Structure 1
Amino acid sequence: MATPRILALDQGTSSTKAVLFESDGAVVARASRPLASSYPRDGWAEQDAGAIWDSVQGAVADIVAQAGAEGIAGLAIANQRETLVAWDAETHRPIAPAILWQCRRTAEACAALIVAGHDARARDLTGLGINPLFPASKLGWLLRHVPTAKDLLARGRLRAGTVDSWLLWNLTGGAAFATDHSNASRTQLLDTARLEWSEELADLFGASLAALPEPRPSDSRFGETAPNATALPAGTPVLAMMGDSHAALYGHGVRAPGIVKATYGTGSSLMTLTPRRIASAHGLSGTIAWSTRAGGPAHALEGNITVSAQAAAFAAQLLGLPDAAALSDLAQTVEGSEGVTFVPALAGLGAPHWDDRARGTLAGLTLGSQPAHVARATLEAIALQIADVLAAMEQDLGQRLDSLRADGGASANDLLMQLQADLLDRPVIRGEVAEVGALGVATLAFASLGVEVAGGEGRTTTFTPRMDPARREALHRGWRAALDRVLHHAP
């Protein structure tokens, strides 16, 4: 009898990837479909939820065309987090564009809740400080501003959830409406101690629990594919779901506290397991890393950076370069940024600063500044933001974290990884499996079938610090000064 295979869907902000894994973790086939985001107003960020589903169907069809459907024992889903999708349960169609995790349209509403003194209670229940990143305020906004939302809610037809629940709904033809505990913990509507939706929080944000999916352990059998939903046979089970950052931590083989990983994507997430549910005092979030039916929830600390590798694409466009790879090539033509500092607060600043009013700045320019110095400063900014979050994580944990595990598309950039090691003054270990998030959620799906996949990311490359300490300190000093000019000073 052939060993089972798992098809992992890694649904991200810029693309949907599908990866077919053997039970030993080997990759059988890969496929990818691009996605576009739109920014219709200052601070707004959206995607077409229908296009997200189309990209999944296309990626699955590509896998089946390459490798066939035989032996695929189930699906596993890793997804972009905090993006809110709302749809009509009868027509199965979105009622509005998906509100992306980057969107800041609810910044004023969140600020008013903080001023009114509700932040501490939200942190107690969820581990998350009130912020427009999280779907709670987005659902409240949708119910206030999209007329069909209130009507559908009254008629029992409104469905709203993170991207995993939207994909599950479509995969099962509407038979399953559920999410996993890792994604639910990022909504700011889940009481993470009780693992239940909180009526108190729904009232606070003007949301409604009646529209939300059922939260379940991450290794649940969530449902089965409907006829003609995808190129897979009907009845293929969905065996695991996790937020993409959580799945990456799992894919690194992390099962106990002491290791921190950073995912370098459109934004970045640093995450480390904690022995229990803890509250951050330094601008981070408490979250559920994953949960299992047998073991219950695993807890973690996380720091979310709003604009990370996206800063490189943004700077490349400003400089007239074709892409981020060309920006990196340009950055390598100079030894340093020569005092130029770029703060990529292009959608506010996330952890550990949390300033939605912050705007991006270039500082330190002189007549001698060249495009190459701006390119170098952009890569330094990505690494310096990571360094800020790691420092906050160490303060919360009360211990030093001796290395960093790196994954995500931008981690393939050797210059960036070397800069990261230099600015952290500790090794950065990059796994050579590109799809570590897909591997993580596939590993959990295999485990639900009683199949153990060797943990960890296989072959690795280690970048060791080699920057002169005085230069490192000068870069950190310049970064802190640039941040001080940006933080909390916007009109």
Structure 2
Amino acid sequence: MTAPVLAVDQGTSGTKALVVCPERGVIGAGTSEVRPRHLSGGLVEVDPAELYESVVAAGRAALAAAGEPVAAVGLANQGETVLAWDPGTGRPLTDALVWQDRRAETVCADLAPRADELRQLTGLPLDPYFAAPKMTWIRRHLTRDGVVTTSDAWLVHRLTGAYVTDAATAGRTQLLDLDRVDWSPAALDAFGLTGEHLPEIVDAAGPVGTTSAFGPELPLTGLLVDQQAALLAQRVTEPGTAKCTYGTGAFLLAQTGDRPRRGPSGLVSCVAWRLAGRTSYCLDGQVYTAASAVRWLTDLGVISGAADLDPVGSAVPDSGGVTFVPALAGLAAPWWRGDLRGSLTGLGLDTTAGHLVRALCEGVAAQVAALADAAAADLGTPLTALRVDGGLTRSALLMQTQADLLQRPVEVSALPDVTALGVAALARMGLDPDVTVDDAVPAWRPVTVYEPRITATEAAERLAGFRRAVDTLIRSGGGAS
């Protein structure tokens, strides 16, 4: 099968679409912005219509740019963003609660006595980041009507009329039995969701239905949550390797093979993908604010955008004693303190924009280094390298800082946004069962490799300084962002 496919990545701040040809690579691209609303109290929501319209607009733009027909469509999704909607009409009944939204903390507090049980069953810690607490909050406070699901089920229904979710996205709900890869009656009972009509769980590759939303009638044959799609595209298939995507947040995933690893280090154990009925698993760690922290500095007028990170940060040799814990939406793995706020310490009259940029890069990189250490502990083997993608990998300052603090090579993807390439591979595999992962996923070739430039001793000192700032934040129970 050599015909191009349309790959759509519906993300937090926008939708990217690529037309991908197996022989010629990317031959068309389109984007459409999405603007979530960040409200007081840690609320983050978006109009579902904006999500759907961005999918259609980006997909149509990519097809127009390619100027040739495609054989199928693949769709990647945000994972933990949820809404209630009418399955008869497809009409949204609520706004979509974005994965960063914290309003379901009350649900998690109520369920604290069952946290260990739920983690063992689903692989996930009890946290408002995941879908089930948000689903329960919607049922308690907004509506009992319709169905309440992750955003992918609604988008797929709007596109094709099918009512499905892939196994990896189902695994982001905290309603999936991780070992059986099926909805868990015990988890549904815990969250008060028994009796909910949940989507059918399907493989990541296979025919789901057809859509004419992009113009011609096309089969939808690939579905996967965004970070796992990036994991696939980066060929992270062996223990000892991991990938990190630097987008709105930063997400580190490491492959664990055909069985889940439930380690003590604070990482999430989850489904990587299910193909032809066979499940692969991964460890997953999250940094809630990466590009969103850059946007925060931009909104304050410190920089004019992500393109300023390198020129502004390079104007000074170091952070000038400034430490930034960019927990602007809380701390995720391995701490799981979503209630915390960010902190900036060590400020002085001599502090410049460059020092703040350097401190931000160190804060993000230090959190990713903590995730890498946790993954190595759970896997029982150190990571040999880190493969990275996402818009912030364009910053040489951030990537060099990451290599320095990690004390491992950081291999940058030739394309910053690989999620769509992963779901393009799945669309090909879903269209033709004879196409294997090795056939569909291009060989890994980094465009740049950053090697550590500081000693292990200096890296340890800098990481210890960041950990002290985190410990202070945890002891104080908050901070000033």
TM-score normalised by the chain length of structure 2: 0.94
Instruction: Choose 94-103 or 358-367, whichever is displaced more.
Output: 358-367
Cα RMSD, aligned residues only: 1.7
The one-letter amino acid paired with 1:73 is A
- Counterpart in 1 of 2:156? 168
Change in 2 beyond 3 A, CA 1:40/1:368: closer
| Aligned positions, number | 472
Select which of 467, 470, 476 maps to 1:483: 470
Select which of 117, 137, 142 maps to 2:138: 142
Instruction: Choose 314-323 or 44-53, whichever is displaced more.
Output: 314-323
- Counterpart in 1 of 2:184? 198
Pair 1:366 & 2:366 matched: no
The one-letter amino acid paired with 1:408 is G
Partner secondary structure for residue 262 of structure 2: coil
Q: 1:357–1:488: 8 Å Cα contact kept in structure 2?
A: no
Select which of 99, 106, 116 maps to 1:120: 116
| Cα offset, 1:293, TM superposition | 1.3
The one-letter amino acid paired with 1:195 is V
Pair 1:284 & 2:267 matched: yes
Instruction: Choose 274-283 or 334-343, whichever is displaced more.
Output: 274-283
Q: 1:25–1:439: 8 Å Cα contact kept in structure 2?
A: no
Partner secondary structure for residue 335 of structure 1: coil
- Deviation per CA, 1:73-113, whole angstroms, max 9, x where unpaired? 11111111101122112332111110010011011321331
- Counterpart in 2 of 1:102? 100
| Cα offset, 1:3, TM superposition | 2.7
Select which of 340, 363, 388 maps to 2:322: 340
| Cα offset, 1:40, TM superposition | 2.5
- Counterpart in 1 of 2:450? 463
User: Runs of 5+ in structure 1 lacking a partner?
Assistant: 153-157
The one-letter amino acid paired with 1:38 is R
| Cα offset, 1:186, TM superposition | 0.6
- Counterpart in 2 of 1:23? 22
CA distance, structure 2, for counterparts of residue 91 and residue 441 of structure 1 = 27
Q: 1:178–1:215: 8 Å Cα contact kept in structure 2?
A: yes
- Counterpart in 1 of 2:360? 378
- Deviation per CA, 1:266-318, whole angstroms, max 9, x where unpaired? 11111111132121211110000001115x10011111111122212212322
CA distance, structure 1, for counterparts of residue 21 and residue 308 of structure 2 = 35
The one-letter amino acid paired with 2:424 is A
Pair 1:400 & 2:382 matched: yes
- Counterpart in 2 of 1:79? 77
Q: 1:127–1:279: 8 Å Cα contact kept in structure 2?
A: yes
- Counterpart in 2 of 1:246? 228
Partner secondary structure for residue 291 of structure 1: strand
Partner secondary structure for residue 165 of structure 2: strand
CA distance, structure 2, for counterparts of residue 231 and residue 133 of structure 1 = 32
- Counterpart in 1 of 2:45? 46
- Deviation per CA, 1:6-35, whole angstroms, max 9, x where unpaired? 100011101101100112360010000011
The one-letter amino acid paired with 2:405 is L
CA distance, structure 2, for counterparts of residue 488 and residue 145 of structure 1 = 32
The one-letter amino acid paired with 1:98 is A
| Cα offset, 1:479, TM superposition | 0.4
Partner secondary structure for residue 37 of structure 2: coil
User: Runs of 5+ in structure 2 lacking a partner?
Assistant: none
| Cα offset, 1:208, TM superposition | 4.3
Partner secondary structure for residue 204 of structure 2: coil
Change in 2 beyond 3 A, CA 1:269/1:347: same
The one-letter amino acid paired with 1:58 is A
TM-score normalised by the chain length of structure 1: 0.93
Structure 1: which 4+ aligned runs deviate by more than 6 Å?
none
CA distance, structure 2, for counterparts of residue 102 and residue 377 of structure 1 = 23
CA distance, structure 2, for counterparts of residue 208 and residue 24 of structure 1 = 48
Q: 1:10–1:16: 8 Å Cα contact kept in structure 2?
A: yes
CA distance, structure 2, for counterparts of residue 48 and residue 208 of structure 1 = 27
- Deviation per CA, 1:360-416, whole angstroms, max 9, x where unpaired? 110112232222111110111111110011111111112111110001111111111
Instruction: Choose 103-112 or 406-415, whichever is displaced more.
Output: 103-112
- Counterpart in 2 of 1:67? 66
Partner secondary structure for residue 418 of structure 1: helix
- Counterpart in 2 of 1:429? 411
| Cα offset, 1:209, TM superposition | 5.0
